[in-house]
A and B are shown apart, each in its own frame.
Chain A
Amino acid sequence: MMDISYIIPLFVAVPLAGAFLIALLGKSIKKFPDVMGVLITLILCILSVKSVLIHNTYGILTYSAGGWNPPVGIGMVLDGLAVFMLVTVNVLAFCVAVYSVDYMEKFTAKWKFYTLFLLMLTGMNGVVITGDIFNLFVFLEIAAVASYALVAFGTEKHEIEAAFKYAIMSTVGSLFILLGIVFLYSYTSTLNMADIANVIMLQGKGNIILLVSVLFLMGFGLKAALVPFHAWLPDAHPSAPAPISAMLSGVLIKSLGVYTICRIFFNVFGINPAISSTLMFLGVLSMLVGVVLAIGQWDFKRLLAYHSISQIGYVILGIGLGTPLGIMGGFFHLFNHSVFKSLLFLNSGAVEYATGTRDLQKMGGLKEKMPLTYSTNLVASMSIAGIPPFNGFWSKLIIIIAAVEAGKFGYAFCAVLASILTLASFMKVMKYAYFGDLREKWKAVKEVPFFMKLSMVMLSLICLVGGILVFGDILQGFLGSAQEALSRGTEYAFTVLQGIK
């Protein structure tokens, strides 16, 4: 068993090495950053798919960094949840890297972009696979710092401002997380998450765990952009270059926010009704506030950013329900949201690339000039609005059914309400951007280059197929094992510790 666990550190090592190589050689060799960026993400993509198969055959795998066994050394754990997140992150990263080949041409210093991009990927993968809570914090900071720089990548005035706000708020969140970790360490005298869970089980949950829960809810909630900790997101996400917006909204808030909340509250602390209902409430609040704010926006990307808040609300609602069906729905929505939200950001990038504007009121009639962007955007809009047969429909259906099954009729109704408003705001996007008369100044607009198209088509295919696969065994195994990892709760500790020995 130990010989296949070599795959675990690769998720961190490969992108880190890639970032290093690009920083070293990218400036002198012309196509090197592009080729390396796509190649590295492709390798990670293949590795993550392989990790699904490995997990299906061998179950939970562990890896001790440097041969030092936890709790002394740093342990890495590959369980169902980690596998699920790795696939989501790395598939998206690959599509975004392909897109960036053409899109980033208009920026200077492509090598800096790819270096930061791969560093961010390192951070996200690290957060997902690590079994050590302090290590998790370190990876979280790697991803966050890289993303601050990427938000400011355009170096325009408003981009710097957004990055500054983002950095400040995110750092505040990180500080509270660190404080939480300190308290946790003082209480349990260990940093390995499985060990912490074990100690908590033995010593019982003191008030200090409740304090840490609050700190973590705030800190990770801020990373996940839950209302009222969301205010940085609508500034930061639209300001980044489109592929980075796609990464930030698509996977960063999930791996840094949602994943960590799941891991710590379900597997380490063990879920209890108070936390569960708090999560549900925050989820529903985010869902409604996000969508109502989104519907009035005229900036294409800002509208999408507000929808990220709203959609994360769905994910948190599903997971907060705590029933297997709810968790499954939440995870399915997490995956779907990363796909269609990334696609939407890439679409907005394509429109911006072709016309130079993000203001919906200045667009119009682009359907004729950019048919592929239009049709992929239609697919993505329908997916996020939950119109069948696209993937968003299925995950929303599962979440709503799960909420009703759990007796949360009001929350289910809120989910439906948010879904209607989501549909309305995407109808607005479609109408103003693509329908209507073509304006005189867009007469010369051309469809975007090949790699951007390729990436958008890949993602819209996932939107389409994701809906159909819901009945197949592939998605069942994939989502099911993630759901199982959470439903088992603190059994996680037992399995992991057994794996280490």
Chain B
Amino acid sequence: MDLINLELFKIDSLSTFVGVFVGLFTLLTVIYSFGFMDKKKGLFSYYFYIILTLVASLGVVFSNDLVLFMVFWGFLGILLYLLIGVGEKPNTSKTSKKALIIVGGADALMLLGLALIWHLTGTFKMDGMRIPLNSAEAIWAYLLLAIGAFAKAGVMPFHSWVPDTAEDALTPVTAYLPASLDKLLGIYFLVRLTLNMFVMNLDMNTFLMAVGSFTIIAAVMMALIQNDFKRLLGYLAVSSAGYMVLGLGTGNFIGIAGGLFYMLNGAICMSCLFMTCGSVEKNVRTMDLDKLGGFAKIMPITFITFVIASLAISGVPPFNGFASKWMIYQGIINVGKNGGSLWMLWLVATMFGSALTLASFMKLIHAVFLGQPSPENPARKDLAGGRIPKSPLISPKSSHGDRAEHREVNPVMWVPTVILAVLCVVFGVFAYQVPLKMFILPSLKMAVNFSGTWNATLATLLMLVSIAIGIIIYFLGTITKTRETESFVGGEVLKEHPDMRVSGVELYNTVQDIKSLKTIYNMAKNKAFDLYEVVSKIVFGINKILRYMHNGILPTYLAWCLLGMGILFYVLILR
């Protein structure tokens, strides 16, 4: 078949960069899984799927032929489906179905994009085309292919499988696919489309920035009101994909470099967050924020890695998330300088998004790690030293054990999270020396002019000094001892809630009461924005009509045949 040629694979800096991190994430996930998947069934198929995912992902990254690319890309959809299916929640099968319908459906749209590309260029070589977006076909080709990238990376409106997967799949699977690998691959393909295969114009860039900004804000607003640990993280993963798309959409070097850098950082942080989440999950069965709390003391390593990753993804300096967000901000400002409109809107969206991300992490850190443990929670026993009744929430493995059972997880599980947290720090402090110089800038093959200089190393030093001074002041100030007593309100000692526990679930629930947002939130709860649900409603509506017509009565069917033949007569002879 002449549709393909022999140059099937190509290795360049961008693909090497993504390939290296695909390998790294696979390695860390496998190590983590040794701990997490301990004593679970179906291990053979689980690891088999992981290895196949690695192979297919590398295939995606290194293939230069679009058809071959499509084969690997589509195959990843099945693997995602199978890996989610390994989970054991009641809704797992529903979620895996939904994930493959969205991802596979987007892949089907990509086929049309592929066909349009063949129509336009007559080649499938990814490096052999530079299609200007000046015809309807070219714009459709770009959009259809971008939809595939969006669905894989979880960009709105193709995101709805990500939070569901986060909730229902096994945690290492979530950390591996939607949180890291699918981000890398989805954005990788978007970069290829945007930089290599198409010549972007201003409108398309604005479109990308709009999609990105919308994803950032909408996803983080949804994250704020979630009460499930993993689902909240799932929405934040969606939000982080928005930054990557926005960065690419700026269309200038620094913004694109920032988007690419954020792709890496977002993947590292989200993967780390999901893994720490899984470590907590190992101790308690529930992921309901209302029932967690107090894990900082019993799982210090997990806590510290979680805090580092959450600060990093919220864009707090000196971590990696800030370094890349800083570049994205500059990119947006450059758009403004070059006369692009609406740039203030995008800038506000990114900054507001960062703040809200931080806010949702405040909720998480309080509810899971710092807040008072809930009565059913094993952490409570360790903190209070008192006896608590056995609860079904405590996993059977730990319920019969003693206090030592509720300690930090196995090193096999915390080592990968620590590695990722270290990467968060290193990529932030030495942003220009390590990741940008080694991976990002070579893959873009362009020089980047930084408008505002941000000397990460110096800033970090200053921050460390200020923290040290703060600690000294703290110790100087607490020389006089404080007095400890029972908690009381209005002079009465609390009997009902002796710990004055605030679970953290209610935090930010007030945003739902804002009038304009209230209806939107209610609609979101009814899944009015979930493309999957909306389309399925339409399809089943048509289905109902058609089924009504198929009433099983023979004369009706014969009448159709005659009617059909009559129409054929009219069309072919009389007309």
Which residue numbers of A lie inside 8 Å of B, CB to CB? 165, 168-169, 172-173, 176, 207, 210-211, 213-215, 217-218, 221-222, 228-229, 231-232, 234-235, 274-275, 278, 289, 292-293, 295-296, 382, 385-389, 393, 396-398, 400-401, 403-405, 409, 412-413, 416, 419-421, 423-424, 427-428, 430-431, 435-437, 470-471, 476
Contact = CB atoms under 8 A, between A and B. Distances in A.
Contacts of B569: 214
B78 interface: yes
Contacts of B561: 169, 172-173, 218, 222, 228-229, 231
B100 A165 contact: no
Given A169-B561, A218-B561, A416-B112, A385 B554 contact: no
Nearest to B136: A409
B550 A231 contact: yes
Given A232-B557, A423-B100, A401 B115 contact: yes
Interface of B: 1, 3-4, 67, 70-75, 77-78, 81, 85, 90, 92-94, 96-97, 100-101, 104-105, 107-109, 111-112, 114-116, 118-119, 137, 536, 539-540, 542-544, 546-547, 550, 552, 554, 556-558, 560-561, 563-565, 568-569, 571-573
A278 B568 contact: yes
Given A234-B550, A293-B547, A214 B565 contact: yes
Contacts of A296: 540, 543-544, 547
Contact of B560 (A229, A388, A403): A229
A403 B115 contact: yes
A421 B81 CA distance: 17
Contacts of B118: 401, 404-405
Nearest to A229: B561
Contacts of A169: 554, 557-558, 561
B111 A416 contact: yes
Given A210-B573, A387-B74, A397 B112 contact: no
Given A278-B568, A387-B75, A419-B108, 10 more contacts: A210-B573, A214-B565, A215-B565, A217-B572, A289-B546, A386-B108, A405-B118, A412-B115, A423-B101, A431-B93
B104 A423 contact: yes
B479 to A, nearest CB: 61
A231 B560 contact: yes
A292 B539 CA distance: 7
A409 B141 CA distance: 11
B115 A293 contact: no
Residue of A172, A387, A396 with most chain B CB atoms under a 10 A cut-off: A387
Given A169-B557, A222-B561, A424-B536, A396 B97 contact: no
Contact of A416 (B71, B108, B544, B557): B108
10 contacts: A169-B557, A218-B568, A388-B70, A401-B118, A420-B109, A423-B104, A423-B105, A424-B105, A424-B536, A427-B101
B74 A427 contact: no
A497 B118 CA distance: 40
A231 B94 CA distance: 32
A398 B4 CA distance: 12
Contacts of A229: 560-561, 564
Given A222-B561, A404-B119, A423-B104, A214 B554 contact: no
A214 B569 CA distance: 6
B22 to A, nearest CB: 19
B510 to A, nearest CB: 38
Nearest to A471: B1
B112 A218 contact: no
A295 B546 contact: no
